[in-house]
Amino acid sequence: MRFFKKRPPRMFIPAKQSVGGPATFLRNLTTYLDAAGYPYASQYRRGDSIFFPIRHKTAVLDKVKKHGGQVVQRLDGVYGDDEPARRDRLARVYHDYADWVVYQSAWCKRVCDYQMGVRDSAQYRIIPNGVDGEVFYPGDNEYTGNQPVEFVVSGRFKRTDMLDIALAALDELQDKGIDLRLHIIAQYEHQTAPAYTGKSYAVVHGAQSMRGVAKLLRQSHIYIFSDANPPCPNAVLEAAASGLPVVSFDSGSLAELLPFGTPLLATASGGLIKPNENFHADALAEKLLLAVTNYPQFRATALAHANDFPFTVCGDAYREVFDLATG
């Protein structure tokens, strides 16, 4: 690793080495840092310390440590018993390499402490994700009761069981005479196809750009989050920033992130990490019906909190951590 004595220490951010939610976050972070004129390195040979989501090559971390650099790790959630080898590799970085850890929520920290053990170091921060307000903002499409309710769901849908629950809940609403449509923004459409085959109300949009997702959110009335135990889902924050009431289950970090939206979170039994079998369609259907029948109230609340998630707050917090780590 090369050091440049005539310049301040820089954080290496491997922004091009992530996918999914971490990739979205790193894109937002580097865009923010560029706009703020904050120096960082895009190649590890030009950096002194390193920041990365989840895990990075230990060979690179060894080089950072050898030259006195700091390792800042960002963690995002549940590392289950079904992936013990992956969790063990992650735990090694967590305990043996990370000087600083950033958790996306307080719930995320509790999960990491539970699954990988409490770290000796007290150097950590809890920094929820932020949203690009120039892309995600409220529209003027209001539900009046004289048109179909436009529900929307989005995500990568690695599993279809939680989406199945959302569809079953919407079936219950349809049986009660609610006229509705569900817009499915799916990054991997082929994986979710079996779940919505035959659903007359389902409109499949497939993968979209960020601006495409934002446009569909503004055209919708209510967002459904169909996943379990989320650490800090970008999709939920984007929907909230778009002024949509969010209906989901009270699991993971959702009540922490959306304290104003807890009346629309259905109960799911269990402890810190709730089993998928404890999420039931009838409980979700009850909250969906509540959101529809009291839409003006929940829409007004959502609009009042649409500006709660600016990326500038998130970005400023990361700059503070980087300054502490490299200073």
pLDDT at 87: 82
Q: Do both 279 and 154 map to the same domain?
A: yes
Distance between CA 274 and CA 85 in Å, rounded?
A: 22
Q: Do both 155 and 296 map to the same domain?
A: yes
Pick from 78, 213, 94: nearest CA to 159: 78
Place of tokens 């921060």: 125
Distance between CA 97 and CA 49 in Å, rounded?
A: 12
Contact (Cβ atoms closer than 8 angstroms) between residue 302 and residue 259: no
Contact (Cβ atoms closer than 8 angstroms) between residue 245 and residue 130: no
Q: Do both 40 and 187 map to the same domain?
A: no
Q: Do both 88 and 51 map to the same domain?
A: yes
> Under 8 Å CB-to-CB from 327, ≥6 apart: which residues?
9
Q: Which CATH number goes with the domain that contains 258?
A: 3.40.50.2000
Q: Do both 125 and 153 map to the same domain?
A: no
pLDDT at 14: 87
Q: Do both 157 and 293 map to the same domain?
A: yes
Q: Do both 269 and 300 map to the same domain?
A: yes
Residue 154, CA distances (Å) to 149, 158, 188, 309 in order: 17, 12, 10, 19
**Phi/psi at 264 (nearest 5 deg)?**
-105, 15
Q: Do both 19 and 123 map to the same domain?
A: yes
pLDDT at 206: 79
Contact (Cβ atoms closer than 8 angstroms) between residue 269 and residue 94: no
Q: Do both 113 and 85 map to the same domain?
A: yes
Dihedral sign from CA coordinates of 50, 53, 57, 61: positive
pLDDT at 196: 67
In a domain, 202, yes or no: yes
Q: Do both 73 and 176 map to the same domain?
A: no
pLDDT at 195: 60
pLDDT at 55: 85
Supply the range of the domain harboring residue 289: 149-304
pLDDT at 197: 63
Q: Do both 296 and 194 map to the same domain?
A: yes
In a domain, 144, yes or no: no
In a domain, 108, yes or no: yes
Profile the chain (327 residues) by mean pLDDT over runs of 10 residues. 55 78 86 94 85 90 92 81 76 94 95 90 93 95 96 80 89 97 76 66 88 97 92 94 98 96 96 91 97 98 97 96 91
Kindly report the number of other CB atoms within 10 A of residue 118's CB atom. 10
pLDDT at 5: 47
Distance between CA 268 and CA 265 in Å, rounded?
A: 9
Pick from 203, 200, 191, 287: nearest CA to 246: 287
Pick from 253, 257, 300: nearest CA to 272: 253
Q: Do both 191 and 125 map to the same domain?
A: no
In a domain, 136, yes or no: no
pLDDT at 4: 43
pLDDT at 51: 95
In a domain, 62, yes or no: yes
Residue 48: both structure tokens together: 């002194």
**Is beta strand 149-155 parallel, antiparallel or unpaired with respect to 180-186?**
parallel
In a domain, 223, yes or no: yes
Task: Quote the number of domains for the chain.
Answer: 2
In a domain, 120, yes or no: yes
Residue 230: both structure tokens together: 């989320």
